Amino acid sequence: MRDFGARHTVRQLPITEVDTRVSSWSTISIKSNVYSVPSRLIGEKVMVRVYEGRIDVYYGGKVQLSTQRLLGRGGHRINYRHIIWSLVKKPGAFRLYRYQEDLFPSLVFRRAYDALRDRFEENKADKEYVRILHLAASTMEAEVETALELLLEAGTLLSAEGVKSMVTDGDTLVAMGMDAPLVDLSVYDNLLSRREGCI
């Protein structure tokens, strides 16, 4: 009798294995597509197993990154967390970075950069935005995004330091962004009186 409850897993074999070196921008090129990898691998030689739907990047015999494989040629998958450390050392490179659009995790971050560009000269705006992105990579991206949204709405986005002070002081985010809801207790009184009337 066949056991239909048993699970059978099919082990997927790699299509190919590629040895490559990580660039100074923390990227590798696999099958004519570019992927970012953790910055600690810059300059190191890695082995990449290419599967039908993903790639696994190995260093020291351990998987350092597993990500969805890009199909076709000329594509790129850049995670800002992988390259932010390089940008912090040379923030002026942000403006010339080939995959700059991948360095805006959401529309709020894009709006923040545009606001900084309106307020400051180019180099200063780039430096402040890179510091904001570094903060998002080092803490919680969602909290940094909330702080940016509040500052943009208030028209007071002046510096990365201002964003940092809001993120590190959680009470500030709550005070600026969330009003305590008003509770109408009469609704509960009505429910209780109806229940008592049914007994």
**Any idea where the domains of the chain sit in the sequence?**
16-77, 80-177
- Per DSSP, 53 falls in state S
Calpha distance 76→36 (Å, rounded): 8
The whole-number pLDDT of residue 2 equals: 52
Q: What is the pLDDT of residue 194?
A: 57
Q: Residue 120: what residue type?
A: F
- Closest CA relative to residue 46, chosen from 12, 66, 20, 70: 20
**What is the predicted pLDDT for the residue at 91?**
80
pTM: 0.74
Rounded CA gap, 199 and 196, in Å? 5
Q: In sequence order, what E strands does the chain have?
A: 16-21, 27-30, 33-36, 45-50, 54-59, 62-68, 76-77
Which tokens sit at 184?
């109408």
Q: Which residues touch 169 (CB under 8 Å, ≥6 apart)?
A: none
- Per-residue pLDDT 10s for the chain (199 aa) are 455 555 555 567 778 999 999 998 899 999 999 999 999 999 999 999 999 999 999 999 999 999 999 999 999 999 999 999 888 888 888 988 889 999 999 999 999 999 999 999 999 999 999 999 999 999 999 999 999 999 999 998 889 999 999 998 765 555 454 443 444 556 556 655 655 555 5
Closest CA to 130 of 96, 156, 155, 153: 96
pLDDT of residue 181: 43
Cβ neighbour number for residue 43 with a 10 Å cutoff: 10
- Of the candidates 104, 13, 6, the residue with the CA atom closest to the CA atom of residue 52: 13
